Amino acid sequence: MARGHLVKRGKESWSIVLNLGTDQNGQRKQQWVSIKGSKKDAEKKLSEMLHQLDMGTFVRPGKLTLAEFLDHWLRDYAKPNLTAKSYERYESICRVHLVPSLGKTPLTQLRPDAIQKLYASKLADGLAPRSVKYIHTVLHCALESALKWGLLARNPAHSTTPPRATRPDMQTWGGDEIGQFLEAAKKTQYHALFYLALYSGARRSELLSLRWQDVDLLLGQIYISRTLHHLRDGGYVFSEPKSAKSRRTVALPPSAVGVLCQHREQQQHQRQTLGSTLSESDLLFADAQGWPLRPNTVSRAWVNLAVRSGLKAIRFHDARHTHATLLLKAGTHPKIVQERLGHAGIGIQGDTYSGISPGMQQAAAQSFDDALNSGYNGRRESRQMR
C-alpha cells in the first residue's frame, strides 16, 4: 500500500491521504489534509509530509492543540538550542501562562484576537508589561517554528500588538552611600562580593562564576568568561556570557585588589581549618565547602543590608548602574563604560543614563563653543595684525 496519495476534491482543491499504519485494534490509520492550489502544489506538500514521516518529525495537523504543540516545540527546539536557564524561562511561560489560557485551542484555529485577549487579561491581573511582552516573544517564537514545519499557514501572533515594555526606574547610590554600605558589609560574609560588584560593574551571574584563575591580583584585573545560574531543580549551571562583548577583561582599582587579597587569605584559612586547600579552579565567592552561592540569597542579603544601614534599598543589579553613573559623571568616555559593563554597544549607555547628569550636555556644548570660538578668535586676531 502506498504511504500517501492525492484525491481531487474540486477545481483547485485536493486532499492528501497519508497511510499511518494500523492502531492497536488493527484498524487502518489515515490522515487527510486539505490543500488548495494546483496539483503540483499538492504533490509538493505530499512530498514534504512523507519526508517528515521518514524523519520522525511529522505531527498530525488539525487534531494538534497548542498545548501539544508547545510540548513538542519545547522538547525538539527549545531544549537543544537554548541555555538551561533560558529553557527554564520558556518552559515556565508555556506552563504558567500559555497552556492554561490557550492550550486546548487547536493549533490551526489559534486566532490573533484570542492572543490579544490573553495579553489584556494578563495586564489586568497585574502582570508587568515587560512580562507580558516576554509571553508574546515566547509564543511568537514557537509559532514561527510551527510555520517553518508546515503546521501553520501564517503566524497569528504576528498580527497582535504586545504591550510596550518600560524600563524599571534606575536607582543608584552616591559616593557617601557606597562608603556607608561597604562599611556595614565588613561584618558580613559578602563584603568582597559587594565591593567587587560596585567597583567592577559586573553582573551578578558573572561575579558568582569567577574562579581564582580568572583573577590577576598582580595586574589588578578580572577575566569574565562565563556566568552562573541556579536552576529550579536546585542545580547550578555555568554558561557562556550573554554576548561576545560580555566576555571581557575588567581592570580593578588598587582598593578592590586589596579587598580581594584579604578575601583570598580568609578563604585559604577557612579551607585549612576544614582540612583542604584553596585551588585556582575554586570559586571566589562560595560557601564554606566551596559550593556556589545562591543568587537570590545574595540579592536578598544586599537589600537587607541596605535597609539596616539606613540607605534606600536598591537592587543588586543597580550596582552596575551605580558604577556606570559615577564613571560617566567623572567624565569617562562612554566607550570605556560600555567595555567595562560588557554591553554590545554604546547606545545602551545613552538610553539608560541619558538623564543622570543634566550638566553633562551643557558641558559638552560649552566645550564645542569654546573650541569654535578659539579658532574664530584666532583667525580674527591674525587678520587684525595684518
Q: What is the pLDDT of residue 165?
A: 76
- Cα separation, 272 vs 229, whole angstroms: 28
Reported as half-sphere exposure (CB side, CA atoms, 13 A), residue 227 has a value of: 22
- Cα separation, 61 vs 52, whole angstroms: 12
Q: What is the pLDDT of residue 307?
A: 96
Give the SS3 label for residue 309.
Answer: coil
Q: What is the pLDDT of residue 361?
A: 46
Q: What is the pLDDT of residue 16?
A: 84
- Cα separation, 35 vs 185, whole angstroms: 68
Q: What is the pLDDT of residue 119?
A: 96
- Cα separation, 332 vs 43, whole angstroms: 64
Q: What is the pLDDT of residue 192?
A: 97
Helix axes 318-329, 334-341, angle to 10 degrees: 160
Q: What is the pLDDT of residue 315?
A: 93
Query: What are the pLDDT tens digits along the chain (386 aa)?
Result: 578 888 888 778 888 888 877 766 777 777 777 788 888 888 888 898 888 777 766 666 557 899 999 998 999 899 999 888 899 999 999 999 999 999 999 998 999 999 999 999 999 999 999 999 999 999 999 999 988 877 887 899 999 999 987 766 778 999 899 999 999 999 999 999 999 999 999 999 999 999 999 999 999 999 999 999 998 888 999 988 877 888 999 999 999 999 999 999 999 999 988 888 999 999 999 998 899 999 999 999 999 999 999 999 999 999 999 998 888 888 888 888 888 898 865 554 555 555 544 455 455 555 555 655 555 455 455 555 55
238, 242, 86, 149 alpha-carbon torsion, rounded to 10°: -120
Q: What is the pLDDT of residue 383?
A: 53
Cell matching residue 272: 585549612
Q: Is the pTM of this model over 0.85?
A: no
